[in-house]
Amino acid sequence: MSTPGTKSNGHLLALGLALALLFGIEELYERRHEGVGDALELMVRGDFEEALQEFELLQRRSKGGAEAVRWEAICLLALNEQPKAVRTLKEGIVKFPEEHSLSVVLAEVYLSLGQSQLAVPVLLDARERGASDRVISVTMAVCHGHARSFDRALEELARAERGGASATDVGYNRSLILMEEGRPDEARDILEAVLDQSGEHLAALREHARALVMTSEGEQDERLVQAITQVNRVLEIRTGDWRAYEVLGDAFLAQADPIAAISAYSEALRFGRNPIHIEDKYREAAVRARHLHGDAVEIPAVRPANPIPPMPPSMEGLEELLRMSRG
């Protein structure tokens, strides 16, 4: 099993991945050459307080536009100032009503707080103001998926697809919905297409491993070995990916190796945001370990360092940014 790196060693890489996942790495490098570039450099280095001051200065000088508002809100989130981030985004939407990306970020902030019921009206308002399905429908689908309204989520993904949204984004999110609906075979096929299209899409690689585990048949199924190999590839780069450790634990448990599963679930809880379902899996593995090996088995007690609600996997860029900002 892969072992996690230290937080200090992985901080800049995790932050860079988070920013790239949020807005696209091409856009990040493009923006560095515009008015917000210096402040973005500070963000990439993890200097959120200094970056926030720069964005606020740009706003006072009427420079930076909606981009400065967006990045200012992200800095506030990283500094654990969610109410201020919400207020900043709301004011930005009023000031720049045509910049629908601000509504998308606000919806994602609400989702990060477990408030999908507030996120949906934000996106509906943006749609009424002319936001295209290409811009908002994937996030709308995430909102409905978060609320377990899977049919509506799939409808929104179809709208996103028709509207010209990224086929990779649509396919990845569709696969998540299908797995939640108990259709892992379909999800696996979609994820294979996503991986063919996008190359090393780490989240898709991890979720494909999850689908392999869910469709495996028996302890000796080669799909379990493939899943473990894929997850370890993810963990070589994203050492604190708690979802990857969860999939690793699932694979080991399916191989009837509860001791290894306990170790993986322990890492998922250590890096994660206190997802209750992993605690349940951890307890199941402990019961099976003691059934196989007796009460002499030592079961480590694990308490998450950052007990805040988990977000959908499609939002893990924002989740990673928030988690890393809390040390």
pLDDT tens, position by position, 96-129: 999 999 999 899 888 877 788 999 999 999 999 9
Q: What is the DSSP string of 106-161?
A: HHHHHHHTT-HHHHHHHHHHHHHTT--HHHHHHHHHHHHHHTT-HHHHHHHHHHHH
**pLDDT class of 190 with cuts at 50, 70, 90:** very high
Residue 24 pLDDT > 70: no
Q: Give the burial string for 150-179 (b: 16+ CB within 10 Å, else e).
A: bebbbebbebbbeeebeebbbbbbbbbbbb
Rg of the Cα trace of the chain?
A: 20
- Quick check: 24 and 12 in contact, CB under 8 A? no
Question: Model's pTM, two decimal places?
Answer: 0.79
> What's the confidence (pLDDT) of residue 308?
44
Of 259, 185, 171, the closest CA to residue 217 belongs to 185
**pLDDT class of 42 with cuts at 50, 70, 90:** confident
- Quick check: 171 and 158 in contact, CB under 8 A? no
Residue 25 pLDDT > 50: no
The rounded distance, in Å, linking the Cα atoms of 61 and 224 is: 57
User: Where is average pLDDT lowest: 1-15, 86-100, 252-266, 274-288?
Assistant: 1-15
Residue 246 pLDDT > 70: yes
> What's the confidence (pLDDT) of residue 309?
47
